Chains A and B, each alone.
Chain A
């Protein structure tokens, strides 16, 4: 079956612009996670959704980052007023029976 999909695959933006990243989880997976993968920091947990609610937002690096999930399916991660340090690969994963399955990621470059 289809895996986790993310769009866009690549995004180049200018410092100060807002960006929106999308994640389509595997059908039927109720839990959804966002991570960030960067050279200096490795893989970092950002936020977790169970259904449409986000009980754990503790990994979001600043208040410029927000995420939502609607209909228990698609999720969007929004970064406002992007900074160069936001450049990274943003990964989404959905979970079934405590196992997370990852999408291909969105590579974000902030100029």
Chain B
């Protein structure tokens, strides 16, 4: 079964610091990759996604992520964080084979709780 690892469970940064959140997945086949964000009191929102093509993808609010196939990684980055980036961040992977055994759903990492101090 697919698994997703987010290495940092809690991250505390000051405003204007650079951010990188790690995400690694286990499956070696073709996957779709996602980062979702959950702001306090709100529901999960899509930040960005990668299906194919340029491995550097840009999302909303200045976030970007880089897919490195050889490392099974999809790390999230932002050059300069803001207080409003305080949230829970989830990496998710979907096996593009689909077809049962849980492969039709997203497999999520445990999440990273990001706190930005003003």
Contact = CB atoms under 8 A, between A and B. Distances in A.
Interface class of chain B by DSSP = loop
B13 to A, nearest CB: 23
Contact of A105 (B36, B43, B45): B43
A45 B105 contact: yes
Interface in A54-111: 55-56, 58-59, 91, 93, 98-105
B99 A55 contact: yes
Interface string B72-99: 0000000000000000001010100001
Nearest to B102: A58
B45 to A, nearest CB: 8
B102 A45 contact: yes
Contacts of B102: 45, 56, 58-59
B44 A102 contact: yes
A42 B49 contact: no
Interface of A: 33, 35, 42-46, 48, 55-56, 58-59, 91, 93, 98-105
Given A42-B111, A56-B101, A99-B49, 20 more contacts: A33-B106, A42-B109, A45-B104, A45-B107, A48-B104, A55-B99, A55-B104, A56-B103, A58-B101, A58-B102, A59-B105, A93-B44, A98-B32, A99-B34, A99-B46, A100-B106, A102-B36, A103-B43, A104-B42, A105-B43
